[in-house]
Amino acid sequence: MENYLEYDEERDRYRTEITSSRGCLECFDFTEPVEGNIYDEKQWSLEFYIRVIAEEKEQEVAVIKGILFDENKLEESGLDIVEAADYIAQDEYDAAYWLSEFEGYKGIGGDDEWIWKGSYSGYIATFYVYEEYRNKGIAKYLFSNIHKLLKYSLNINLRCISIYPQPQDPEGWNNISDDDMMRNMIQVIERNGFIKIGNEGYYARTYELVEI
C-alpha cells in the first residue's frame, strides 16, 4: 500500500506496511487438525502493526501497534470486551474497560445489531512518529485512515478504538516521562476526533464501517 504526503514543496514517497498476529502460523502441532491449534484468544483477538517507511531512505517514519477484538467472536463466546481483555494483560483490561464506557462503543446491539456485525474494536498500545517527521500531516493521515488501512490490508472492519497517550522510547518501546510529548500527543489525538473518556486519561473514536 503506497501513499504520498506533501511537505516542504516536495513529494516524498512512503510505503505503509501492515501485519497482524493472525498472519503468522507459529507452533502448530502438525499431528492435529488446524482448527485444534487455534486457541480461544487467537479466535477473538489479534495484534496489528502498522509501519510507515520513507522509501528513499528506507527509514521508519511512524509506528502504530495495537490489539483488536472480533465482536462476532466475542458474542459467540459469551464474552464482553472487558472479559476478553482480562485474559490477556492488565493494560488491555484497562483500555477495554474505558472503551466499554465510551458512548460510541456502547451504542450497539438490539435493533442496530446489524451495524456492527463483522466489526472489530480495540485499542492502540503504541503510536509514534519519529521527531524529524512530525508536524507534517503523518499522524493526521494515520488516525483519519486507520480503518481503511486495516480494511484493505487485513479485511478488518474497525468500528471503535481507544488510546492512552503515553510517551515512549522507540529503542525499546518503554514508557517514558515527557510532559511536552504528552501534551503534543493529546493535542494530536483530540484534533483527529478522539474524545476523552472518564478521568483516567483514555480517549476513543468511532469509525464508519468500510465496504468493499
CA 64, 132, 148, 51 dihedral sign is negative
Mapping DSSP onto H, E and C, the string for 66-85 reads: EEEEEHHHHHHHCCCHHHHH
Q: pLDDT of the chain along its 212 residues, tens only?
A: 444 454 444 556 888 999 887 654 455 556 666 655 555 666 788 899 999 999 888 899 999 999 999 988 888 888 899 998 988 776 789 999 999 999 989 875 544 554 556 799 999 999 999 998 988 889 999 999 999 999 999 889 999 999 999 989 988 888 999 899 999 999 999 999 999 998 899 999 999 888 76
Residue 119 cell numbers, joined: 466489526
The DSSP bridge partners found for residue 121 are: 69, 160
Helix, strand or coil for residue 22? helix
Q: Nearest CA to 127 among 85, 181, 71, 59?
A: 181
Q: Quick check: pTM over 0.75?
A: yes
Q: Quick check: 163 and 203 in contact, CB under 8 A?
A: yes
